[in-house]
Amino acid sequence: STIVFSRLSDRFGQIPFIRLGTFLQIIAMTWQFTKLGTEVDYWSDFAPGLLLYGTGWGMSSPLQNSLALASIDERYFGELNGIFNTVRYTAGAIGTAVVFALLTVDTGPESLSHYDATLMFFAISAAVAFVVSWVPLNDRSAG
């Protein structure tokens, strides 16, 4: 999806795809939150959310970096790319730590509430990214 949406963003701009991608991630986590339980059918309960999340991530994540680079002077590309990737990897590490902290508390049906908390954590994270995508940028990065 990354290649497809990168090419489409050249034609229609990056911001609409970033917004749509983060929105798809919110829908995916909400889907998982409402569908997953003690009895799960992979194709009807789990796979749609996984597909939505992967599509949303592939649509938005690379374009966020590209948009950030488009908004600054070329001489700062190295610094911005370093900051962007540091924040991205730090957020990924925090997300991984939250997942393991929540999902290793209990096992069996007792752990479902922890799965719900984990899914809500990711839904809220995607919602924050969605809201931030509406913050106006300078003219250089419009598109």
Options 2.40.110.10, 1.20.1250.20, 3.40.50.620, 4.10.640.10; CATH of 2-141: 1.20.1250.20
**What's the pTM value of the predicted model, to 2 decimals?**
0.80
Q: Residue ranges per domain, the chain? A: 2-141
Read out DSSP for the chain?
-HHHHHHHHHHH-SHHHHHHHHHHHHHHHHHHHHH-SSS--IIIIIHHHHHHHHHHHHHHHHHHHHHHHHTS-GGGHHHHHHHHHHHHHHHHHHHHHHHHHHHTS--GGGGHHHHHHHHHHHHHHHHHHHHHTTS---GGG--
- Show the low-confidence residues of the chain (pLDDT under 50): 141-143
pLDDT of residue 138: 67
- pLDDT tens readout for residues 87-107: 989 988 998 898 888 778 777
